[in-house]
Homo-oligomer: A and B are copies of this chain.
């Protein structure tokens, strides 16, 4: 089955770069701090970054003391930026889908994946490959779109009042797992919805111990500066997890 590679679509790529560069975007404020809070001390560790994109995390992991980082991404275009902006002798970028990590040499102390696994159809298979590629006491830290978000399939996502304020998330088909098509800069972006319990059970089934889950939202302090993120209290954008190979 061909792997989806929307990030090589030029329209998607430009749109994506713009929101990620915007000050106060949800990734910078909520996803990245939560992801960092789940990481162990990286000193001397070997890392694998799944869906590394333009490599800014890989570079950050080296700055945090990692011995080596392998960043894999399906998008050649993303990796071109990674090579240009975030290269380092300790980083190896590989243009492969994360479904192919079983072909890599060696094992890793830490596997990280930021906002990529909701594009993966075969979650159980990838989680198994991650587990097999990890050293004992290794840690897998991931973020993904929140299941309340990926559950959505069609219609209006929000019910709003007459002034356009968001009142409710229109949640449907939460228990119906599988492919969702949506428009995000381009039409036909495919994501895969999984329930919270499936995510936990898939980790447990391959042998991981679940150590922490995070559903970030804006606290009072952050709302003062970024009131536009108040809606996260209704629908968290992200779900993060930390699992350990015992």
Contact = CB atoms under 8 A, between A and B. Distances in A.
Contacts of A215: 175, 195-197
A176 interface: yes
Contacts of A16: none
Contacts of A173: 233-234
A167 B172 contact: yes
B200 A234 contact: no
Interface string A192-208: 00011100110010000
Q: What range describes how many residues of A lie at the interface?
A: 20 to 34
Number of copies: 2
Contacts of A212: 200-201, 204
B196 A234 contact: no
Interface in A203-245: 204, 209-215, 217, 232-236, 239
A171 B235 contact: yes
Given A167-B170, A200-B200, A175 B213 contact: no
A159 interface: yes
Contacts of A235: 171, 174
A143 to B, nearest CB: 12
Contacts of A148: 148, 171, 174
Contacts of A197: 213-215, 239
A175 B218 CA distance: 9
Contact of A169 (B171, B201, B209): B171
A89 interface: no
A106 interface: no
A155 interface: yes
A168 interface: yes
A236 B174 contact: yes
Contacts of A155: 167-168
A174 B195 CA distance: 15
Interface of A: 148, 155, 159, 167-176, 195-197, 200-201, 204, 209-215, 217, 232-236, 239
Given A169-B172, A196-B213, 15 more contacts: A148-B148, A148-B171, A167-B172, A169-B171, A173-B234, A174-B236, A175-B233, A175-B236, A176-B233, A197-B213, A197-B214, A197-B215, A204-B210, A204-B211, A209-B209
